[in-house]
Amino acid sequence: MNIQLESMAIEIPAVRGHPNREAFRGVLTLIDVPSDRAPAGARGHRVVLTKAAAEHALASLLGMALDYAPALDRHDSRRKVGIITRAEIVGKELELGGYLFAKDFPEIVRELAGSKARPRAGLGMSYEITDARVADVRAQVWTLTHVTFTGAAILRRDKAAYLETWIELA
């Protein structure tokens, strides 16, 4: 088995006991794997994010926001609940890490803490992108050859384009 690792991170100084920082980690998406359902903005097409596109765009994730909608059923780019400080490709997974704004959004921290009893059970993630290039817009499954990440969202897994994404408190 050949495992490759591409990784990037921004270093945030440690502040012991900071009330507004709760670490998270998870899988944002799968690489070179068709999505389980069509993401928003894909006009009903399932998508594949190529490894080359993901590697090229990896740095664009750093410092971007993690958002959520209260019903956990969609993106809400105006409700920023955290920041992404680490992104890495491990095998077919694009893994993230960062901090949630725990004091500002205690409800999302409670939701994730409650899911510790059922690890990776109900919540996943979904990426937000711009400048997407599709190899063939007539294809049934769109192959994304270039993207710029603009953030990510926490969603119920059944609402995410990839059912195997997950998020948990670190």
- Distant-in-sequence, close-in-space partners of 22: CB < 8 Å, separation ≥ 6: 99, 100, 102, 109, 169
CA distance 154 to 24: 11
Per-residue pLDDT, averaged over 36-52, amounts to 96
Per-residue pLDDT, averaged over 79-102, amounts to 97
Q: What are residue 113's phi and psi, to 5 degrees?
A: -65, -40
The pLDDT value given to residue 122: 86
Q: Which residues pair with 124 in a beta bridge?
A: 155
pTM value is: 0.90
Q: Does the structure show a pLDDT above 70 at 4?
A: no
Per-residue pLDDT, averaged over 95-111, amounts to 96
First to last CA, the chain: 27
Could you give the 3-state DSSP secondary structure of residue 51? helix
